[in-house]
Amino acid sequence: MGKKLYIVAVIVLFGAFAIVFNTFPRSTVSEVEKRELAKFPEFSFQSLKEGTFTKELSTWFSDSEPYRDHFINLSMNIKDWMRMNFSKENAITFHAPDAAPIDIEAPDINSTDIPTNDTIPANPKDTVENRKIEEYRNKLTAEENAKIAHAGIIIIGSGDKTRALMAYAGDSTGGVRYAEAANMYKRKLGKKVNIYLMVIPTSIEFYCPDAAKSRTKSQRATINNIFAHLSDSVKAVDVYTTLGRHANEDIYLRTDHHWSPLGAYYAAKKFAQVADVPFKDTTSYIRKVVKRYVGSMYGYSKDISVKKAPEDFVFWEPDSTVTYSTTYINYTIDENYKVTGESGPFPGKYFYHYKDGSGSAYCTFMGGDTKLTKVVTSTKNKRRLIIIKDSFGNALPGYLFFSFEEIHVIDYRYFTFNMVQYVKDNKITDILFANNIFSAYSNSITRRYTKFLTQDHATFYPPKPKKEEAETKESAPESNTEATL
């Protein structure tokens, strides 16, 4: 009797799933994963013959199942319950493969030597600030559980102290082309333009528990190598040491792959010191807060504990002692985020405000990445700055309105002008490369920087057929492709 009931229950369960998956409306967007789901493929005899139609049909069926986010949330809740009930103190569960958790383009240099630089000690334990970091790590390790989540992400802590960390797979010989790109800019632009290079470490460098260190590599070793390959005429901006001094503060977001605006504030202050320009502390700013923020790492890790640990997104706007105006050029991009067109300049606001609970709070600065930004301030010192950046760099410019009379913000993915001409036309005096360690390590990203020096203005990719063009997206989602990132 029991066996028959079991068989009936299984049949009913599978029947229910069949009805749901085959008759209920399909999902089109996943809020959890922050992406559009696969669309039903367009049929043609050619695609059927080549097998692409059936392949895309299978992808659509599995990717767009009804109530996708509900099932993902259910699965995450079950896994979180099991972790909380069965894991031991300081246990680590590995969900990522043993191979490098993040696919980073391999460096071109084969040397295994780690060059040193006066601004960054070769041994991370040589400084007081790094001993503070080590003490903070040990405190975390002693008090919290840690585990590896999907996509090389480590989840540490519990409750409102949960933190998501993205593993780093680069080595000590990487990032040479990032340095060479800065050197090339200096050679091309000459003595009248100061060139600075900033490598932004990610949160795992400061908060990774000892038990999970085997799953990530030293970012400091890579930064050593990058700075060692800079020419004497390019100025290194060592924010690693600066951030290390403040590791026990909220300098990184717990639920997002980005640093926090506070971390960017300390980095901007360090840059201002190197560039020898004025800088105002937070008493000259107005503190703003977006409560209950859950960032990108929830979607990347698919770990419910991240969602259950919202945080305050705190940022600062300059007060009325400095005035500024912002002008944008918006870029039109296709589904692969390649530029297909650009708008004319138009005025806009620099700081965008989001409601409590919004997952878009990091877009507070300029509203995102797909644009060229120019800020004209009331500061008059004949210093005009370009910040060439990935999304980490978005949080920097707002702290420099007291420091430069103009700030131009260029994202590595979307710049369409010739850099040499742009510098000349806008009388630029300073250029800051500000990229997170993943971007600095990527040869493909730094190749784009060098291309800016020779490209013609508005050399867009070939236009798509009209049918596809109608589906072109106007803007890209905020994402961790540079880590992406």
Residue 386, helix vs strand vs coil: strand
Tokens for 442, please give them: 């990527």
pLDDT of res. 462? 46
Please tell me whether residues 192 and 294 are part of one structural domain.
yes
Please tell me whether residues 427 and 311 are part of one structural domain.
yes
Residue 67, helix vs strand vs coil: coil
Q: Is residue 78 part of a domain?
A: no
Q: Is residue 268 part of a domain?
A: yes
Q: How many CB atoms lie within 10 A of CB 51?
A: 9
pLDDT of res. 213? 87
Please tell me whether residues 61 and 131 are part of one structural domain.
no
Indicate the number of domains in the chain. 2
Answer yes or no: pTM beyond 0.75. Answer: no
Residue 347, helix vs strand vs coil: strand
Please tell me whether residues 157 and 18 are part of one structural domain.
no
Q: Is residue 94 part of a domain?
A: no
60 CB burial (10 A radius; 0-12, 13-18, 19+): middle
Residues in contact with 8: Cβ distance below 8 Å, sequence separation at least 6, in sequence order: none
Q: Is residue 102 part of a domain?
A: no
Please tell me whether residues 243 and 377 are part of one structural domain.
yes
Last residue of a domain, one of 47, 66, 85: 66
Cα distance from N-terminal residue to C-terminal residue, the chain = 58
pLDDT of res. 80? 57
Residues in contact with 107: Cβ distance below 8 Å, sequence separation at least 6, in sequence order: 170, 171, 173, 174, 175, 176, 441, 443
CA distance 196 to 231: 11
Residues 64 and 22: beta-carbon distance below 8 Å: no
Please tell me whether residues 280 and 385 are part of one structural domain.
yes
Q: Is residue 101 part of a domain?
A: no
Please tell me whether residues 281 and 401 are part of one structural domain.
yes
Please tell me whether residues 46 and 140 are part of one structural domain.
no
- Mean pLDDT per block of 10 residues along the chain (485 residues) reads 64 60 63 63 70 67 62 60 48 38 31 30 44 48 46 83 91 95 97 97 93 89 97 97 96 97 98 98 96 92 89 97 97 86 94 95 94 97 97 97 98 94 97 96 92 85 46 37 42
Please tell me whether residues 141 and 54 are part of one structural domain.
no
Domain that holds residue 341: 124-469
Please tell me whether residues 61 and 178 are part of one structural domain.
no
Q: Is residue 97 part of a domain?
A: no
Residues 430 and 304: beta-carbon distance below 8 Å: no
